[in-house]
Every structure is written in structure tokens, then in C-alpha cells.
Structure 1
Amino acid sequence: MDEYIIGIDIGSSKVRAAAGKMDKYGKVQIIGITSAKCNGVKKGIVVDIDNTSEAVRECITALERMVDIKIKEAYISLPGGISELLWNKGVVAVSSEDREIRENDVKRVLKASKIVTIPSDKEIIGVIPEQYIIDGYDKIKDPIGMSGLRLEVDSQIILAQTTVVNNLFKSVIKAEVKVLGVVFQPLAISQAVLKDDEIQRGVAVIDMGAECTNIYVYEGGNLTNIETAALGGSIITNDISVCLKIPFLEAENLKIKYASVGEDDANYNTKIEVDADYNNKIQVDYYTLKQIVEARVEELLYIIDEKLRSSEYYEKVSGIVIVGGGLGLIKGIEDFSSNIIKKPVRVGTPGTVGSSNPLYACIAGIVKDVSYAAKGSNFSGKTEKLQENEYKGYTKGKDKKEVKSENKNGIVLKIKEFFTDFF
């Protein structure tokens, strides 16, 4: 089990789990990926712990059969849509007599940056350092080992509503899986599908799931903005179901297999056979399906375009990357989106072996980040170690053992160890 990294991504329609590890060449390989249908999450928020927990258990059981190991612990993703970012600064004096900056100084300055007023119903999930400043010299990514008198940090504070995070953790713990750490979803996706030069120049990721769409903007090497729209790919499926008078499940299968937008080489007179109610088969006109999908996709893209243009980041974005199953699997989506948003668009496919599908952007990013962190590799330089964070109410009793992490440049949020006998 120790050689495998297990990641869990809980979405509005599916729970996905993946097992991965490093090969002898230092590359991350995904050994197995599974998914299970989940009805306990709505728009990124757990609304039914039992249903979500059962989906996690089903997913993990299938993954255990696939990789032939017993899975008792995992890393999970924290959805960007339920989080918000604050910017703050921390300042400390270097403590050592020889003025060499050590790991403890970095911990202290990150802790200092967390001194900020937040609403009573929210808590600090983690800290992402954007840059360190030593005696006035900025743009320093790793200050450890350098000399100075004064250490500062410009950081992003990740906030989330306490009850929402609690319910997410309870769902995993109830499935008898211990949570080793949290990976912030926008940063996990960036590790899986974005290039370093894209993040420096400016890029927006459109992550469309079943019920919500998250827009993550990266610029200057950092995550700079999060926008959320309460619409997702299920609305396209619903349109197909209503217009063609077929069950929702059949409409979903039809969308995945045949949905396309823009110009294509298909014969518009093609008929597609699908199952209707009571095992009756009907013929669906391909051109009609295409018109239904195009109409709704166009509307969704105009909503995304409006959100981008209404923010201060539209001019800073040099390109768009689409991930997730809401839009990423639709044929012709790149050119169609580009014509509406007026930016170059590509579908983001993880480069990790075993996960070459836009559906797996987040789960591949979790495994990739944790795998590199375990090796102590400075693989991106975009983030530094995040401060440990105590989650209240997840364990009972006073014996709380801290989970150790060697992550120096990853995006894993250190948390307290959870006991599976919580329930």
C-alpha cells in the first residue's frame, strides 16, 4: 500500500478514485482509475452523507479489485467552487544567529500570513505562498538556506465554509477511508493539464462538471481568480431527454457517444437507435441531436464568456483550457468555443500515463502532486509547503496524531489524522 498514492475526487455526479505510483524513471503512472455514480452531492456540496459515503465505498472497492491492494487511506480534492481566496502578507524576523533562513522561519512567516479576519462560519483551509521577500528583495520561491534579517511572504489564504468541509470529510471517513491530506482542486488540475509557460502568461481553465462550472484563472505563475456558474453538463443531457422524449440515462449515453458542435464530416441524415421507455427502441435524427446540443452549449459558453469579461482578468488570459465531462468530451468543442470566447481553446488532457482523458484532470493531478511530494521533488515551483490545519470535529478524544508530510513544493494541505471510529 505504501508504494501507491490513492486519490479521491468527489463530484456532483460521480466519485472517482485513482491509484498511482512513480516508475523507475521518476514518471508518475496511474495504475487504476474507477468511478461510481453519486447522488449525494449538489453543485459541489455534500447534501447526503450516506449516499456520498456509499459511492466512495463502491469506488474504492472497485479500485481495490483493480490494483489488488487493500485501501485504507487516501488524499481527497477540495473543490474550488466552495472555496474563496484572500491575499495577505506575513512578516517575521529571521531567528537564527547566523541569519540563515531555516524551515522554521518559513513556517512562522506562513503562520503570520494567516492572521486575518474571516467570517465566523468559515475557516482557513490552507496557505499558498506566491512569493517570498528577503530584506526587500522579492520574487523568491524557496528562501530556505538563504541569508537575511527580515522574511516576508505574499500569500493566498484559502477559505471554505466549515460545515461544507466537515460534511465532505465525514463522507469519506464513513466509508472507512482515512484522509491523509487535501489537494486544492484548481492547483491539482493545473499540475495535470497546464504548462508552466501557460501559467506564467495567463490562462483560464473551464472545469465543467454535471451541475456547476468553475473558471480558474492563472497568471504570473499563480492561481489568481475563481469564478463559479451554477450550470453544468447535466443541463445539456436534460435538454436531449426532454426534446427527444427519452430517459435521462439514455440521453447521457447519447451525449457522450454522439454529441458534437460546429462543422463536422458526419452525415446529417444519420439515424441513431436508442432505447426509450419499456425497452422500446426509437430512431433519433443526428441533425436534431446536434441542434439541441449546440443551442445549449452556445448558451453555456456565452455565460462563461460574460463571467470572464466582467472580471479584470479577461485581457490577461492568453488561452482557454477545457476539462471535465460537461464540455471536454463534445466533438468540435475547441473551435466552437474559440469562436465565442475569442481566445485560443484546447481540451486539457492529463499527460500522466493511464489517465489521458479530460474527465481525469483533477484525480490525475492529485496523484501526480502527492507522488512528487513524497519524492521531495521541486517539480513546479508554483507553490510551497502549506501550513498544517486542524479540522475541528473530525476526531473524538484527545489523542490526535499529526500526519507527517515531506511535501516541499506540492499542494497537499497538511491536516490532522482522522480515526475511522469517528462514527
Structure 2
Amino acid sequence: MNEYVVGIDIGSSKVCAAAGKLDKHGKIQITGITSVPCNGVKRGIVVDIDSTAVGIKNCIEQLERMIDSKITEAYISIPAEICELTLNRGVVAVSSEDREIKKNDVERVLKAAKIIAIPSDKEIIGVIPEQFIVDGYDNITDPIGMCGLRLEVDAQIILCQSTVISNIFKSIKKAGINASGMVFQPLANAMAVLNNEEMKIGALLLDIGGETTNITVFNGNRLIYKDMLPIGGNAIANDISLCLKLPLSEAEKLKIKYGRVIVPNEASGEDFKIKINANYDNVVEVDYSLLIQIISARIEEILCLVKKKLSVNECLDKVSGIVVVGGGIALTKGSIELCKSIMDKPARAGTPEYVGAASPIYSTAVGVVKDVIDSGKVDLTQSTAQESHHKKNDSKSAWQEQDEELYSEENNDGILSKIKGFFTDFF
């Protein structure tokens, strides 16, 4: 399995997994991707370890058949809704005699930033540097190679409840997979669907899942705001089930097959009857116009709540564009146009630019793979060179995972890779 990197996204309604490797040109290639239903997770928290483990196992088995290789290790995305961010500053003295800042100094200052009082039921799972400060000069993105006496970092510390993380890893282990590390979900999505220009001028990353809607705002290449709504795509199926007196399973089928959104100033369109089989083989007729009204009302409510949160926290003006990822809402016809209308901002569906993985539902799994490979967390260049006799890959990462030995890899010398997420590896 050294040839592949596997990323797993455990959601409230499904488990997605992606496998990637480097091609002969040193570029990332997604060789397999799949998803299976899973109902063992609610709002990012594992509520049924057995059910979650079965979903993960089924997903991995499908992926193994796609890539024709046995999978024993994977990297996991950590949902944003179970994490919280807190700001802290780390300060160290430059250790070298010539006062040149080296990787070891950056490692020490990041560890110093993690020295913070936290509740006994929580633990630090990662740190995201915002800026480095050398002898009082701030807004430094890459301090390595500079001269100075004092190195500081302003960082966001990622905290999570210990029991929640433990249950996630128990589910992974029960599925027969060793968790090699983890990636913060908003950063994985950003890796997969946002470009450098969007990260700089301001972007709202809207991850609408089954049970939750995660709101993340990036500006100036920094994560400046994170929030969550306890409502997602599953609420639409519930609305259809209640309003039309249908079983929830049939409501979900209707949502997927006929779902669309009424866009403002758009013609009402064709109205017709939909015949479906309800309980006890009873045939029920559903008005199409009523169905899309139900779907539109719920999606509009979600988007209005997002706008309200951004306005209250004074983040709406910092957003220049909106990227929607996640489950079925991002793929629902008319939802992006409705988002543009409500937010009064440009919007698009976030799709990874890889063959076979160009869907918003795969953004997190693909982002995990991309982050791990780009950050140098694993070294795939040796096996790639043996197969293709190509030069060693020199690709650089916008976000970087951290384990107990930060900056231990030799290919971590990209400017962006020094300033992004460094995640703690428990293993």
C-alpha cells in the first residue's frame, strides 16, 4: 500500500473514500473513489460504532476492488462540527549561533503555541499557523532562512473532545483499518476545491451535509471564521415525508430523482403528477409543483440562516465568492442560483479537478489525499521513480499535516506548506 494514499470522509449519511498516487510526471492522480450509505454518525459524532465500522469496511472493500490493492491504512477527515478553534501565540529564541531560523526553530515555536490550558475532557489535535513574527516584524509567511533573535507565531489551536475522537478511531480500527493520521475537514475541502486567488480575496466554503451545515470563511490565505448549523439535507426528506404523508425512504428517493429549487423570477415550469408506491403497495400521486416548493423552502431557509450568521459576525463583507460542497444540495438543480440570489455573491459548486472525482460529495476525501501527498506526510516518490524512472516529485502543499515530529520531511520547504495546518498524529 505504499503506492497509494487513502483518505476517508465519514459523514452523517455516507462514507466516502478516495485513493491517490503520483503519476510519472509527479502529479496527483485519483485512481479510485467510492461512497456507501452509513447511518452510524449524527452531526459528526459516532452514535453506533458497529454501524459506522460496517459502512467504512464496505466502502474500503469497494475501493480495494477499484484499485486492485489491499488497503490497511488510511487518513481520516475530522469533522468541523466536533472541533473548536482557539487563538494562541508561541514564542522561542532562535537556537543557531548565526541566528538563522531553521526548521527546528519553526517546530519548537509551533509546539510552544500548543502550550495552553484546556479542559480535562478535551485534547489538542492540531495547530494552524496564521503568521510568523521575527523580531517584531509580522505577516511573515516563511521564516526559514531569515535571521533573527526571537521567533513568534500566531496560531489557531484545534481542540476536540477526547471521547468523540476515540469513538471515531475505534470505528476505524473495528473496520480493520489503521488510522495513519487525520486532516481537519474544512482544510481538506479547501485543498480540493479552492484556488489560491479565492483563498486570498475571501471565500465562503459551505459544506452542506446530511445533518449539519458547516460554514468556513477564508480570507488572506487564513481561516478567519468557522461555524455550524444543526440542519442539513436530511431535513428536506423529513419535510417531504411529513407534508406528503410518505415513508422516509420514498421521500428520499423523490428528493434525489425529482429534486430542484425554484429560482426567483423563474417561470413555474411544468406541473405533473408523480406516481410512487407507498406502504402496502399503495400507489400515491404527488404534485410536482408542491414537491419542489417543499424542497425550495428548506434550502432557502438554510441559506438565509447562513447569511444571518455571517452578517452577525461581520464576515459577509469579507466574502467575495461562495463555494458549495457536500451532499445532494450542492447537486440540486437551481440551488447554486438560489445561493447567488440570497447571498448576492458569485457562487459555484465545488468539484475536485480530477477525472472520476468531479463531484461535490467527494471533495473532502480527495482533499485528504491531496493534503497528505502534497505535505510530504508519506513519500511516494521512491516507488514512482522505480516504476517510471522519473525525477523525484517537487510538488508543494497549501495545507500540511503535523505529527509528533513537525517538519521532519525533507520536502517541506514550500512557502505555503510552512504556514498551513499541522496535525497531530496519534500513532
How does the TM-score come out when normalised to structure 2? 0.89
Question: 2:402–2:425: 8 Å Cα contact kept in structure 1?
Answer: no
Which of residues 402, 405, 413 in structure 2 aligns to 1:386? 402
Closer, same or farther: CA 78–300 of 1 in aligned 2, 3 Å: same
2:270 corresponds to which residue?
A: 268
Could you tell me which amino acid in structure 1 is paired with residue 125 of structure 2? I
Closer, same or farther: CA 338–55 of 1 in aligned 2, 3 Å: same
TM alignment of 1:53-72, pairs within 5 A? 53-72=53-72
Could you tell me which amino acid in structure 1 is paired with residue 167 of structure 2? N
Q: Which structure 2 residue ranges, 5 or more long, are not aligned?
A: 382-392
Q: Distance in 2 between matches of 1:5 and 1:196?
A: 24
1:286 corresponds to which residue?
A: 288
2:358 corresponds to which residue?
A: 356
Question: 1:192–1:352: 8 Å Cα contact kept in structure 2?
Answer: no
Question: 1:305–1:341: 8 Å Cα contact kept in structure 2?
Answer: yes
CA-to-aligned-CA distance 1:127-155 (integer Å, 9 cap, x gap):
11112122222222222232222111111
**Offset at residue 160 of structure 1 (A):** 0.8
Percent of paired sites with the same residue = 54
Q: Secondary structure at the match of 2:145?
A: coil
**Offset at residue 80 of structure 1 (A):** 0.8
Q: Distance in 2 between matches of 1:254 and 1:62?
A: 26
**Offset at residue 123 of structure 1 (A):** 0.9
1:247 corresponds to which residue?
A: 247
2:216 corresponds to which residue?
A: 216
Q: Distance in 2 between matches of 1:18 and 1:5?
A: 8
Closer, same or farther: CA 79–316 of 1 in aligned 2, 3 Å: same
Closer, same or farther: CA 82–76 of 1 in aligned 2, 3 Å: same
1:48 corresponds to which residue?
A: 48
Q: Which has the larger displacement, 87-96 or 19-28?
A: 19-28
1:167 corresponds to which residue?
A: 167
Q: Which has the larger displacement, 93-102 or 243-252?
A: 243-252
Q: Secondary structure at the match of 1:327?
A: helix
Question: 1:373–1:406: 8 Å Cα contact kept in structure 2?
Answer: no
Q: Secondary structure at the match of 2:107?
A: helix
Question: 1:256–1:329: 8 Å Cα contact kept in structure 2?
Answer: no
Q: Distance in 1 between matches of 2:249 and 2:289?
A: 20
Which of residues 390, 409, 416 in structure 1 aligns to 2:426? 416
**Offset at residue 266 of structure 1 (A):** 8.2
Q: Distance in 2 between matches of 1:384 and 1:19?
A: 18
Question: 1:129–1:384: 8 Å Cα contact kept in structure 2?
Answer: no
Closer, same or farther: CA 385–91 of 1 in aligned 2, 3 Å: farther
Which of residues 321, 326, 346 in structure 2 aligns to 1:344? 346
**Offset at residue 415 of structure 1 (A):** 1.2
Moved over 6 A (4+): none
Closer, same or farther: CA 144–384 of 1 in aligned 2, 3 Å: farther
Q: Which has the larger displacement, 263-272 or 158-167?
A: 263-272
Q: Distance in 2 between matches of 1:162 and 1:255?
A: 36
Question: 2:375–2:400: 8 Å Cα contact kept in structure 1?
Answer: no
Q: Distance in 2 between matches of 1:416 and 1:307?
A: 34
Q: Distance in 1 between matches of 2:410 and 2:278?
A: 54
Could you tell me which amino acid in structure 2 is paired with residue 188 of structure 1? A
Closer, same or farther: CA 280–65 of 1 in aligned 2, 3 Å: farther
Q: Distance in 1 between matches of 2:411 and 2:284?
A: 55
**Offset at residue 414 of structure 1 (A):** 3.8
Q: Which has the larger displacement, 104-113 or 264-273?
A: 264-273
Structure 1 residue 112 corresponds to structure 2 residue 112: yes
Structure 1 residue 9 corresponds to structure 2 residue 14: no
Closer, same or farther: CA 24–284 of 1 in aligned 2, 3 Å: farther
Q: Distance in 2 between matches of 1:153 and 1:254?
A: 51
CA-to-aligned-CA distance 1:387-416 (integer Å, 9 cap, x gap):
529xxxxxxxxxxxx9x7667326462413
Structure 1 residue 127 corresponds to structure 2 residue 127: yes
Q: Which structure 1 residue ranges, 5 or more long, are not aligned?
A: 390-401, 418-423
Could you tell me which amino acid in structure 2 is paired with residue 362 of structure 1? T
**Offset at residue 320 of structure 1 (A):** 1.6
1:91 corresponds to which residue?
A: 91
Could you tell me which amino acid in structure 2 is paired with residue 355 of structure 1? A
**Offset at residue 380 of structure 1 (A):** 4.6
Question: 1:126–1:386: 8 Å Cα contact kept in structure 2?
Answer: yes
Structure 1 residue 298 corresponds to structure 2 residue 300: yes
Question: 1:246–1:275: 8 Å Cα contact kept in structure 2?
Answer: no
**Offset at residue 365 of structure 1 (A):** 0.5
Closer, same or farther: CA 133–361 of 1 in aligned 2, 3 Å: same
Q: Secondary structure at the match of 2:329?
A: coil
1:238 corresponds to which residue?
A: 238
Closer, same or farther: CA 300–330 of 1 in aligned 2, 3 Å: same
Q: Secondary structure at the match of 2:128?
A: strand
Structure 1 residue 321 corresponds to structure 2 residue 323: yes
**Offset at residue 49 of structure 1 (A):** 1.2
2:185 corresponds to which residue?
A: 185
**Offset at residue 384 of structure 1 (A):** 5.3
1:76 corresponds to which residue?
A: 76
**Offset at residue 243 of structure 1 (A):** 2.2
Question: 1:142–1:384: 8 Å Cα contact kept in structure 2?
Answer: no
**Offset at residue 257 of structure 1 (A):** 2.3
2:390 corresponds to which residue?
A: none
Could you tell me which amino acid in structure 1 is paired with residue 426 of structure 2? K
2:385 corresponds to which residue?
A: none
Q: Distance in 2 between matches of 1:58 and 1:384?
A: 29
Q: Distance in 2 between matches of 1:281 and 1:63?
A: 38
Question: 1:386–1:411: 8 Å Cα contact kept in structure 2?
Answer: yes
Aligned residues: 404
**Offset at residue 195 of structure 1 (A):** 1.5
Q: Secondary structure at the match of 2:158?
A: strand
Q: Distance in 2 between matches of 1:313 and 1:378?
A: 33
Could you tell me which amino acid in structure 2 is paired with residue 215 of structure 1? I
CA-to-aligned-CA distance 1:334-382 (integer Å, 9 cap, x gap):
221222222222211111332101111111111111122236756354x
Q: Secondary structure at the match of 2:250?
A: helix
Q: Secondary structure at the match of 2:330?
A: coil
Question: 1:210–1:233: 8 Å Cα contact kept in structure 2?
Answer: yes
Which of residues 333, 336, 339 in structure 2 aligns to 1:334? 336
Could you tell me which amino acid in structure 1 is paired with residue 187 of structure 2? L
CA-to-aligned-CA distance 1:5-46 (integer Å, 9 cap, x gap):
101111111111111112223332221112222121111111
Please give the root-mean-square deviation of Cα atoms over the aligned residues, in Å.
2.2
Could you tell me which amino acid in structure 1 is paired with residue 396 of structure 2? F
